[in-house]
Structure 1
């Protein structure tokens, strides 16, 4: 993809239209994936369990990356946002499963999320062909 090309990727979440964003943006060989929460976009369901939500976040991220022509191994940066930092450790087995071999630069932030039911949001940046 030429450096000046821009491709928008949608998960078809109603939030994308309501708020005005894309699930991911491909710019040149970089992929910027918006913060993903634990919603299953096909069913609208979200688990009350933080580890289950983390798993769904990565499934959503993996789908966006695949549509962009990339994989989880291409992730170079990850940000975790949790309303309660005490929940972070419960997600570690999921993070290890998805990124243990990739080992991107990472930051964990404690902050409120858009809805009370959301216990984690994950944002990644990837570089194609890493």
Structure 2
């Protein structure tokens, strides 16, 4: 079986310099890198507002997933990184609006800071394409070990 590797770029001039991508699809797995609350104009969205920044991060991550052929329904893990973990409920509200029925494995962690001091949150996501998973399940109903 041939494995596909697809790179999803954000358009940042730093991607080739640093050597990173917004997301990478390898076969049926999609990994979305730490996604910051950056607006289309390059400015920080929602300064001081964890909820608004989380919504923006999720918007960017969702777009990257779509470009890789995945959807929010296929997300199996998210990581929410906050500069102040006591504000986790603000980020959780935005996360819950997208994932209440999907319920991926989720981790909230506190970090000391991000590259831009106005960023209060970054989001990572991992997805497994359901189409590929269903194709691997034999008729007995048992999964591949």
Please report the TM-score for the alignment, with normalisation by the length of structure 2: 0.82
1:56-97 CA distance string (max 9 Å, x none): 001000100000111111100111111111221112221111
Size of the alignment, in residue pairs?
Answer: 128
Question: Residue 109 of structure 1: SS of its match in structure 2?
Answer: strand
> Does 2:42 correspond to 1:44?
yes
> Does 2:18 correspond to 1:19?
yes
Please report the TM-score for the alignment, with normalisation by the length of structure 1: 0.91
How far does residue 108 in structure 1 lie from its aligned partner after superposition?
A: 1.0
> Does 2:86 correspond to 1:86?
yes
The 2-side partners of 1:70 and 1:100 are apart by 18
1:3, 1:27 within 8 Å by CA — same for their partners in 2? no
The 2-side partners of 1:71 and 1:57 are apart by 15
1:82, 1:113 within 8 Å by CA — same for their partners in 2? no
Larger radius of gyration: 2
Unaligned residue ranges in structure 1 (runs of 5+) = none
Question: Residue 32 of structure 1: SS of its match in structure 2?
Answer: strand
Unaligned residue ranges in structure 2 (runs of 5+) = 134-145
Residue range with higher mean Cα deviation, 11-20 or 83-92:
11-20
The 2-side partners of 1:69 and 1:22 are apart by 16
RMSD after superposition: 1.4
